[in-house]
Structure 1
Amino acid sequence: MYRSVIRPILFALHIERAHRTVVWLLRLAGWLPGGLWLLSRCFAVRHPALGREVFGLHFDNPVGLAAGVDRSGEAIAGWGAAGFGFVEVGTLTPRPQPGNPRPRIYRLPKDDAMIHRTGLPNRGLEAAIRHLRRPRKGVVVGCNIGRNTSTLPENGPSDYLKLFRNLYQYADYFTVHICCDNPVEQEPSLEEVRKEILRILDPLFDFRRGQNQYRPIMLKVSPDMSDETVDVVTDILIETPLDGIVATDGTLGRDGLKTSRAAVGKAGSGRLSGAPLTRRAVEIVRRIHTRSGGNYPIIGVGGVMNADDARAMFAAGADLVQVCTGLVYEGPRLVRDICRALIADAETAANTAAPEVAENTTAAETPGAPASEN
């Protein structure tokens, strides 16, 4: 129904208007008596096999909403009712900001992709707190935090710290967003990358040490990082109190697109998300998992367009996955399909293991042959 009826209607609207319509409908479901219950009956999948314990938090299922969809946390309960195991709000900045001039998001239907250069529009810290105070029906909520565009880079850590301190009691975990919409002429040296990341993270670690409650801190990385830079970030994960990594954001690359060069050129600069990102995102998840020995949580995001993409993320070492562009093209059935696939995989594994356990038990209980006499 989504592909044949709902998606054509939404695609007839400009993408940001379609986005606002969906968020409004989810908020409406929360206001109407029985709205969230009906939404849950239609889309949510509940099963014990879906539960996950990651960085000290329980997730009813491992499929989350990526940052950039609900920037200010307006419809958290609605997303939960629609089947998401967790919601990442943001990217939030201390002060409200409108973002880049519109149009700034473009669909590429031939590639199941989007190009976006939003400039992190959001309503700021105070608006986010108002929304996060509302009941959320047990949904795990992460806050993706960044700096205001008008904040000078050298003052960036103060923006992150302000958000972290003021949102600490409302969020279940935090994601530090060090990526941006604008390309850089040259990737900084590995030592510069390390210094800049620690300059942002260290004040957050210091603040957290003085709190009674523990809030996990994740770091979001870009798919355009070199393998060597990914290794540096992974080493920071191992050597500091950082709890995990979110991999990845969108890419500035345009390789292998089916969409015409003219159409891509019309969209202009910005990050590409969706199916073209799948392979690189999985590669980075696998690299982080291998280098860290599989001892740290990873949230896999980027190009998760179907259940097989989610399976690839989990096989590469992800503990959780997030969807964004896949939701635009597949609708809420994407979360349902992934959850059902995971349940089927768990049942298959259980059925395969059962005969092996029975065989081993039978062999252990069979009396051994008597010892031969000399």
Structure 2
Amino acid sequence: MYKLIIRPIFFLFDPEKIHYFTFSLIRVLCKIPLVSGIFRSIYQLNDKKLERTLFGLTFKNPVGLAAGFDKNAVLYNELANFGFGFIEIGTVTPKGQLGNPKKRLFRLKNDQGIINRMGFNNDGLQAAIKKLKENKGKVIIGGNIGKNTQTLPENYTADYLECFKGLHPYVDYFVLNVSCPNVGSHAKLNDKEYLVELITACQKLNNKENQQKPILLKIAPDLNDVQLDEIIDLVAETKIDGVIASNTSTTRDNLKASAERLQQIGNGGVSGQPIKNQSTKVIEYLAKKSNKAFPIIGVGGIHSEDDALEKLEAGADLVQIYTGFIYEGPSLVKRINKAILKNT
């Protein structure tokens, strides 16, 4: 029904506008008595064999929703009805910001992909905290945090620490987003020395809390082997809890979209099927080269059961979907979990 009726209608409209319309629609539907229960009965698959325990957390299944979908933590309670094992909110920055000028979100229909240059648009830390206080405890929540676009390099760490401290009571794990290509002046965030400084600062803050929360690093799919070796060394040196591989890609190779179309769109990160193989190669390299020394969450181009299984076989412990959720609809989560059960 989704791919035959709903998606064709949604795809007639601007991607960003339809995103917010969908949010409003889901929120309204879930306020109707019994509807949340109907969604859960259709889309959830509950089986102890699907449970995964990583960095001290037990996930009811290994399929999560990636950051960027529920940036402001406004819909995670409702989205939990669709069977996710965990939901990552954000990217959250200390201050609310508009992000890059619109139009900034583009579908690549023939490629089953998306190009975005959103630029960390979000309502800010305090708005996220307000919404997270409404958590009904249905699902594990990750907090994806970043810096404000206008923040000076010498204050980057302060931005991350402000978000870390503010969200700490309300999320189950943290993700340091240092790899988004759509925010200004982020070169420093790819420097290993700075990453050691940033991770260490977050860990010091974490250690002051009564309950420590896992900290993960989200990396780009465009890293070469030397850079991936640096990531492995970084994890070993800092003892960070894990890696999310991967963010969107700046590479435009092998796209079916015409050069004219891509020129018309302009810059931005590519997600969806076009980055599936890149992401899987990064996961496989990290897992093999490190001898599976740390947990990996695999994300990028998961549009089917086979795509998810491929990520898991490459070395991912959990997977996340985003663009695949838009193209395939909510049934994708249950389909993936069914396939995982079959292969257990």
Classify the TM-score, shorter chain.
over 0.9
Letter of the structure 2 residue corresponding to residue 224 of structure 1: D
Matches within 5 A, 1:318-337: 318-337=316-335
Kept in 2: contact 1:52–1:62 (CA 8 A): yes
Match of 1:250 among 237, 248, 253: 248
Matches within 5 A, 1:30-179: 30-179=30-179
Q: 1:187 to 1:226 in 2, by over 3 A?
A: farther
Q: How many residues align?
A: 344
Kept in 1: contact 2:45–2:337 (CA 8 A): yes
CA distance in 1, matches of 2:185, 2:194: 17
CA positional deviation for 1:185: 11
Kept in 1: contact 2:94–2:148 (CA 8 A): yes
CA distance in 2, matches of 1:6, 1:182: 29
Q: SS of the counterpart of 1:68?
A: strand
Q: SS of the counterpart of 1:250?
A: coil
Kept in 2: contact 1:29–1:78 (CA 8 A): no
Q: SS of the counterpart of 1:253?
A: coil
Kept in 2: contact 1:275–1:303 (CA 8 A): yes
Letter of the structure 2 residue corresponding to residue 343 of structure 1: L
CA distance in 2, matches of 1:137, 1:11: 33
Q: SS of the counterpart of 2:122?
A: coil
Kept in 1: contact 2:146–2:177 (CA 8 A): yes
Match of 1:290 among 276, 288, 291: 288
User: TM (normalized to structure 2)?
Assistant: 0.96
CA positional deviation for 1:13: 1.5
CA distance in 2, matches of 1:76, 1:15: 20
CA distance in 2, matches of 1:111, 1:131: 35
Q: SS of the counterpart of 1:123?
A: strand
Letter of the structure 1 residue corresponding to residue 195 of structure 2: I
CA positional deviation for 1:333: 1.3
Deviations 1:251-300 (A, max 9, x none): 10100011111111111100011111011101111111122221311100
CA positional deviation for 1:184: 9.2
Aligned equivalent of 2:269: 271
Deviations 1:334-371 (A, max 9, x none): 1111011111212xxxxxxxxxxxxxxxxxxxxxxxxx
Deviations 1:201-223 (A, max 9, x none): 11111111111102000000001
CA distance in 2, matches of 1:213, 1:24: 35
Runs of 4+ more than 4 Å apart: 182-188
CA distance in 1, matches of 2:253, 2:126: 40
CA distance in 1, matches of 2:61, 2:43: 13
CA distance in 2, matches of 1:277, 1:6: 25
Aligned equivalent of 1:219: 217
CA distance in 2, matches of 1:24, 1:4: 22
Structure 2 gaps of 5+ residues are none
Q: SS of the counterpart of 1:135?
A: coil
Structure 1 gaps of 5+ residues are 347-374
Q: 1:119 to 1:182 in 2, by over 3 A?
A: closer
Structure of higher CA gyration radius: 1
Aligned equivalent of 1:359: none
CA distance in 1, matches of 2:32, 2:236: 47
CA distance in 2, matches of 1:21, 1:291: 44
User: TM (normalized to structure 1)?
Assistant: 0.88
CA distance in 1, matches of 2:205, 2:135: 26
Say yes or no: does 1:180 pair with 2:180.
yes
Aligned equivalent of 2:314: 316
Q: 1:155 to 1:187 in 2, by over 3 A?
A: closer
Aligned equivalent of 1:299: 297
Kept in 2: contact 1:91–1:145 (CA 8 A): yes
Aligned equivalent of 2:227: 229
Q: SS of the counterpart of 1:322?
A: strand
Letter of the structure 1 residue corresponding to residue 105 of structure 2: I
CA positional deviation for 1:135: 2.8
CA distance in 2, matches of 1:199, 1:67: 24
Structure holding more strand per residue: 2
Letter of the structure 1 residue corresponding to residue 255 of structure 2: L
CA distance in 1, matches of 2:207, 2:308: 35
Q: SS of the counterpart of 1:12?
A: coil
CA distance in 1, matches of 2:111, 2:343: 28
**RMSD in angstroms over aligned alpha carbons?**
1.8
Greater displacement, 277-286 / 34-43: 34-43
Letter of the structure 2 residue corresponding to residue 114 of structure 1: I
Aligned equivalent of 1:24: 24
CA positional deviation for 1:35: 2.6
CA positional deviation for 1:29: 3.9
CA distance in 2, matches of 1:4, 1:31: 26
Deviations 1:117-168 (A, max 9, x none): 0001000001100111113343000000000001012210000000001110
Greater displacement, 47-56 / 30-39: 30-39
Kept in 1: contact 2:199–2:238 (CA 8 A): no
CA distance in 1, matches of 2:180, 2:152: 14
CA distance in 2, matches of 1:51, 1:308: 19
Identity score, percent: 38
Letter of the structure 2 residue corresponding to residue 243 of structure 1: D
